Chains A and B, each alone.
Chain A
Amino acid sequence: MELQAVLMAAGGGSRMPDLTYNTPKPMLPVGNKPLMWHPLNLLERVGFEEVIVITTKEVQKMMSTDPKMKDVKMKLDVVCIQEDGDMGTADALRHIQQKIKTDVLVVSCDLITDVALHEVVDLFRAHNATLAMLMSKAHDFTETVPGQKGKKKTGEQRDFVGVDQSGKRLLFMANEADLEDGLSIRKSIMRKHPRMHIKTGLVDAHLYCLKKAVVDFLADNKSISSIRGELLPYLVRKQFSKTTNCPKSKDDADDQTQKTADGSTNSTELLICSRDEPLLQLAQERSCWNDHRGDMSEAYHGGKLRCYVHIMDQGLCYRVNTLAAYIEANRLASKLLEEPAVHPSAVISERCQMGPDSIIGAQCQVADKTSIKRSTIGNSTTVKEKVKVTNSIIMHGVTIEEGCNIHGCVICSNAVIGRGADLKYCLVGNGQQIEAEGKHRLVSRF
């Protein structure tokens, strides 16, 4: 087997507390499908047959009841972890170390993308890389976020990513928070790669191909708890460390004895040697290829640990971890899905005006003289007459009485919007009731 897929669906959604109040983030509807359905769909389309899903018990329960999750034909091996255990992504990987038999592809549940996955995996295969990840040029979210007054500059700390001239090899990665007194780059890196492009406007898609040796390394190093925050910068730094060259040993037996003899020191080292190392060396020596030009060193500067990144400049790639991203994703969901925008079981009266960008869920009832534009309406929602819904996200089981005017809102499940209400850029929580004739602007109601 070449790759095992792992879906991380235990995240809390800490950056959108309003939405995840009642519904855990992996089950938030995007385009009327749970959020975690999208990365699973990507994996299924590419050809995976099994996925290990790391999630919480709550999500697992919801997964088993949700009809959309039954569409997923892959075998889902669900591993539950404690919600409040404060487990990082690397801790989760360590938890399932026994199940990992080969190289692993880690995906986050909030990734919605149409990337050609083979681009990332090809980098991983061709260069025998230790890490291959996906990044994308960030898009600005221009829509007003409901419930937030004014454009809140959340002061997101920037990520600095350094790549080499080809744009594929990852040389440097740091978050602004860790760089207290300026960005410093080691001379050894500059000597090997004198031309480096440093980019800041990139979104990390949290899709990583990792070698099995990394998972084993994590098992021994319990201090690393987050893949993105700690493991990745460690691996990127380790590329240029002098101690990464593995000891020249002829067979596995030697490796084993060395491990036990040295005890602690070797177990904290990342052993990247493969069997038949001498043959691979011979092939590389005889090959007339080099990945860089201008200095006297061989291909890859003789380094065995290599990190690669594929930067998408076209196509969709969203991480739904903020409210703005959630709204944007919903808007674009209709483009991603192959199903018809209007569910066949929805009852829509003839005198309803529906825009092409809208998605109507199952068993909806939409009455006459309504206008639904650029909106997503969830399952079992009732929309009465003379309602105008634009640019909004309406989740499941919502009742919208007559004469309402809803613009740019997010209305969570089972809410009731009273007659004649006029809502603009509002965020209505689960089960809330908006009184009749209410007029609200930029309000969050819980």
Chain B
Amino acid sequence: DGLCNTDDIERSKTEGKELTKEEKQRLRKEKKQQKKNKEKNDEKTSHEGEKKKNKKKKEEQPAGSASQPPAQPSPKVPAPAPPPPAAAAVPVPASEAPAPADKPAKSKADLKAERRARQEAERASKGKKGDVGQPAPTGKLKAPPSELQPVVKRLPEHVQVDNPEVVKKLAKKLERQQIPLRSDYGYKVSLFSHLHQYSRKAPLTQQLGIPSTVIHPAIVRLGLQYSQGIVAGSNARSVALLHAFQQVIRDYTTPPNEELSRDLVNKLKPYISFLNQCRPLSASMGNAIKYIKKEISNIPSQCKEEEAKIKLLNCIERYINEKIVLAAKAIAKYSIEKISDGDVILVYGCSSLVNHILCEAFEKKRKFRVIVVDSRPRLEGREALRRLVQKGISCTYVLISAVSYILPEVSKVFLGAHALLANGYVMSRVGTSQIALVAKAFNVPVLVCCETYKFCERVQTDSFVSNELDDPDDLIVTRKGKTQLEHWQKVPSLGLLNLVYDVTPPDFVDLVITDLGMIPCTSVPVVLRVKNVDQ
């Protein structure tokens, strides 16, 4: 992979394009890394002894120089272990001239083998720390090459509904995939005019044929459930998505002259577009899709279809088990340490994870009571209230307008998250940032519970740039037979805004409890880095 990197930078250099700032920065980093490697190697070789050290120096230097322009911190990376010694072996004969006098007995091959063995041993003894340090730059470098190829900037995540070109491109893409385009509904508040706003009464299935042939029925059902809110909540949506993918994989047959690893990914693309049209994908769903696509592409071509399918189904089961079920157990274990007897815990809305934690804590015989804060129009807190009261936890229920009155009683705030962004901001249900703000003002600790699979590489500091607009008709309520906002569309200066998410800055969050442990909000980028490396 490092070699690919070489080619890219070489290519862009020879093509005469000026290296962009990022690329220059990268080169600088690589050179620094190179130096570090050399120093590290020198350190290592100082253990081995003089002669070996000399030999090493000589072989490292030529090896280093051979791969000078692009980065090759390869000696330390486990995967390309054989090539570097081989590469090192090539320059060694060149520098062999002064050395051989010292080594009459052992042959060159034996020495090489010994050296290799010692290198491996030291690598193993160094442990994960060293590996993490080194492969991380390669991880970062691995990402850029794919972006270097097309120099055109692609921002796949940014929705720009008010830009007609982008809308046209999207419409063309959907037409190619034979998926109907869902039209926006109603007047949009100007600050959010770049986002989609759909009506629940105009489902996408209106434009699809019955029975659906282009899109797998399981996906149509899932899209309907998303758009009608039957499956809501980050975890539920991901699980339902993976379940639907399991059905798609089960019903899939490879067409002749096609490879499963490539064709199945292409089959999934229109489904994902369809689901995106029904309801914008969540960060957790995005990560799940990335994982599935990676797994599918990694299927070797000689693998038989049945085997491949079973393997994929097992992958999905494992992913759900590890990232959702076991993660919830781990988070519950950590959180219970933080819940002490006599606590008054405040929760907001209905987070499946927070509910799970509280139920587990109650089962472990902790004595606490819960205050459930709810907000219109979703009123999800009622469902949270039902689940907690069913277990026997004593609860209080307030609306968000009362949160500053109730906070003096509260000892801790537990919040769930939809996604954790790379700059430490927490993206969650709209209203969460208010709760965190008021809690900060009262010096009440705020703990956010979030599984690592919801960590997202996006960076956002405000709730405007990327959000989701729900159906504005949800805000219409009938009281005493009168519906005041019934004809809101006819009033030209009136716009109804039904936001779904908001971002909470890390200053308001005291602790993030993940399945990897309890980390401060600012450590999210580290977790992301580690995750990239693992993958």
For the complex, give the distance between the alpha carbons of A288 and B350 in Å. Answer: 6
B203 touches A46 (CB 8 A): no
Q: What 1/0 flags go to B235-249 for Cβ under 8 Å of A?
A: 111011011001100
Q: Which of A46, A116, A276 contacts B246 (CB 8 A)?
A: A276
Contact residues of B between 359 and 398, Cβ < 8 Å to A? 380, 382-384, 386, 389-390
Find out whether the CB atom of A125 lies under 8 angstroms from the CB atom of B221.
yes
Query: Looking at B213, B220, B229, B236, which has the most chain A CB atoms within 10 Å of its CB?
Result: B236
CB of B211 closer than 8 Å to a CB of A: yes
Cβ-closest chain B residue relative to A4: B211
Cβ contact within 8 Å between A286 and B211: no
Name the A residues within 8 Å of B246 (CB-CB).
276, 279
Known: A126-B228, A279-B243, A290-B386. A285 touches B352 (CB 8 A): yes
C-alpha gap A4/B213 in the complex (Å): 12
A83 sits at the interface (CB 8 A): no
Q: Does A362 touch B at the CB level, under 8 Å?
A: no
Interface hits, A1-22 → B, CB 8 Å: 1-4
Q: Which residues of A contact B221 (CB under 8 A)?
A: 125-126, 128
A289 touches B229 (CB 8 A): yes
Known contacts A118-B205, A122-B205, A128-B221; A46/B210 CB under 8 A: yes
Cβ–Cβ contact A126 & B224, under 8 A: yes
Nearest-CB distance from B202 to chain A (Å)? 11
Is A121 positioned at the interface, with any CB of B under 8 Å from its CB? yes
Contacts of B209 in A (CB 8 A): 46-48
Select A282's contact among B210, B239, B350, beta carbons within 8 Å: B239
Q: Do A286 and B352 touch (CB < 8 A)?
A: yes
- Set of chain A residues within 8 Å of B289, measured between Cβ atoms: none
| In contact, B243 and A286 (Cβ under 8 angstroms) | no
Does B320 have its Cβ within 8 Å of any Cβ on chain A?
yes
CB A52 to nearest CB in B, in angstroms, measures 13
Give chain B residues whose Cβ lies under 8 Å from the Cβ of A288.
Answer: 232-233, 236, 349-350, 352, 380, 383-384
Of B203, B225, B228, B229, the most chain A CB neighbours within 10 A belong to B225
- Contact: A3 with B210, CB < 8 Å? yes
Known: A47-B209, A117-B210, A296-B386. A289 touches B239 (CB 8 A): no
Interface-centre pick from A46, A126, A279, A288 (highest chain B CB count, 10 A):
A288
Q: Would you call B233 and A286 a contact (CB within 8 A)?
A: yes
User: Once the chains bind, are B212 and A286 in contact (CB under 8 Å)?
Assistant: no
A51, chain B: closest CB distance, angstroms: 12
The reply to whether B383 and A279 form a contact with Cβ atoms under 8 Å apart is no
- Give residues 222-280 of B contacting A (CB, 8 Å): 224-225, 228-233, 235-237, 239-240, 242-243, 246-247
B138 CB, nearest partner CB in chain A, Å: 36
Q: Complex Cα distance A296/B242, Å?
A: 29
Assuming the contacts A127-B230, A285-B352, asked whether A122 and B211 have C-beta atoms less than 8 A apart, the reply is no
B186 at the interface (CB under 8 A from A): no
- For window 105-163 of A, CB contacts with B under 8 Å fall at 116-118, 121-122, 125-128
Q: Is the CB of A1 within 8 A of B389?
A: no
Cα(A282)–Cα(B233), bound, Å: 12
Closest to B241 in A: A283
Contacts of B211 in A (CB 8 A): 1-4, 47-48
Residue pair B230, A289 in contact (C-beta under 8 Å): yes
A-B contact pairs, 11 of them (CB 8 A): A1-B213, A116-B206, A118-B205, A118-B206, A126-B224, A276-B247, A279-B246, A287-B236, A288-B383, A289-B232, A296-B389
Beyond A118-B210, A284-B231, list 12 extra A-B contacts (CB 8 Å): A47-B209, A118-B205, A118-B206, A122-B203, A125-B224, A126-B225, A126-B230, A128-B221, A276-B246, A279-B320, A282-B324, A286-B239
Which 7 A/B pairs are nearest by Cβ-Cβ distance?
A47-B209, A2-B211, A287-B236, A288-B350, A286-B236, A2-B217, A286-B352
